[in-house]
């Protein structure tokens, strides 16, 4: 069972896209492919062992770990990665908007998420996970989670990165990264450093991933699949060959194959290729 929930607190909606609860009570295998995203995920698990290798995440339930918690955080990635669940598990995930997660950490995101996925080494997050999994009621869990987030919120100086992001997201102007740096009054090196620090990716990587995600937000999954040429144009892929090339790099598949294979879950919030 997977269920998404919007933040209850208005204050948190600026920083968090949604939460999802993922519970599998059957002792079977579930696998999916995740695709590049501008958001950051922090996942809380109970009773699992997590192994990572070559863009592959193996999450296995272990009887001897049934009372142990794990906290995993994603970085940015420009290729798909494979997730394999084995056995029963309980997961609570927070999906942060691009800069949002930085407000709930003790340092910049790059200090915790330099790879596609890793353990979040912050004790208070692990203490939170222990409390959440002691609570059976779903909405009480969310209330506990939001109380924790509000208590651990801090302001950060991210104005210049926010400005640069908005410029990179402007498909009509289609600024180059150098033009964005100039408009922000930064050198290219300084812009790159600020993006890596708070987003763990370069400005050009951010633009590529954002454009890809924008193309997925088009309503090509309602009724008949929208023509790929329309999706490409609406997301500012300047020609069909570029569109196909970018999709192959980011998803490992041509657009046509990709759109046939993916599943959109929970009102299109989650896009996976379920195996």
Q: Tell which residue, 171, 158, 138, has the closest CA to residue 15.
A: 158
Q: State pTM to two decimals.
A: 0.91
Report the C-alpha gap between 230 and 124 in whole angstroms. 47
8 Å CB contact between 186 and 194: yes
Sign of the dihedral through C-alpha 142, 11, 99, 198? negative
The runs of H, that is alpha helices, within 135-239 are 138-151, 159-168, 177-183, 188-199, 203-217, 228-234
Whose structure tokens read 């949604």?
A: 18
User: How confident is the prediction along the chain (275 residues), in pLDDT tens digits per residue?
Assistant: 788 999 999 999 999 999 999 887 776 788 999 999 999 999 999 999 999 998 999 999 998 998 899 999 999 999 999 999 998 888 999 999 999 999 999 999 999 999 999 999 999 999 999 999 999 999 899 999 999 999 999 999 999 999 999 999 998 899 999 999 999 999 999 999 999 999 999 999 999 999 999 988 765 444 445 577 777 777 777 678 888 899 999 999 998 898 888 887 766 677 888 86
- What domains are defined for the chain? 2-151 (2.60.120), 159-254 (1.10.10.60)
CB 94 within 8 A of CB 16: yes
Please state, in angstroms and rounded to a whole number, the distance separating the CA atoms of residues 120 and 169.
Answer: 29
In a 3-state reduction of DSSP, which class is residue 238? coil
Number of Cβ atoms within 10 Å of the Cβ of 92: 23
Please report where in the chains the tokens 């995203």 appear, as a residue.
37
Radius of gyration, CA atoms only, the chain: 19
């Amino acid at each position: 069972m997977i269920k998404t929930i919007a933040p209850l607190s208005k204050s948190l909606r600026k920083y968090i896209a949604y939460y999802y609860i993922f519970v599998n009570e059957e002792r079977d295998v579930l696998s999916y492919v995740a695709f590049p995203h501008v958001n950051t995920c922090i996942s809380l698990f109970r009773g699992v062992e997590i192994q990572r290798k070559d863009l592959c995440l193996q999450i296995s339930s272990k009887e001897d770990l049934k009372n142990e918690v794990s906290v995993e955080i994603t970085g940015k990635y420009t290729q798909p990665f494979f997730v394999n669940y084995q056995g029963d598990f309980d997961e609570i995930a927070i999906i942060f908007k691009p800069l949002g997660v930085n407000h709930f950490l003790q340092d910049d995101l790059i200090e915790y998420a330099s790879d596609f996925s890793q353990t979040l080494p912050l004790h208070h997050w692990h203490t939170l996970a222990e409390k959440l999994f002691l609570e059976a009621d779903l909405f009480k869990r969310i209330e506990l989670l939001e109380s924790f987030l509000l208590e651990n919120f801090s302001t950060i100086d991210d104005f210049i990165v926010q400005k640069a992001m908005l410029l990179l997201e402007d498909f009509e102007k289609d600024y180059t990264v150098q033009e964005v740096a100039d408009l922000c009054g930064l050198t290219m090196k300084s812009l790159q450093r600020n993006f890596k620090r708070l987003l763990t990716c370069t400005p050009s990587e951010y633009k590529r991933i954002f454009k890809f995600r924008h193309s997925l937000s088009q309503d090509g999954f309602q009724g008949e699949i929208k023509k790929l040429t329309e999706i490409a144009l609406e997301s500012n892929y300047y020609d069909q060959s570029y569109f196909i090339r970018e999709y192959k790099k980011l998803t490992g598949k041509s657009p046509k194959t990709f759109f046939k294979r993916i599943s959109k879950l929970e009102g299109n919030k989650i896009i996976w290729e379920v195996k």
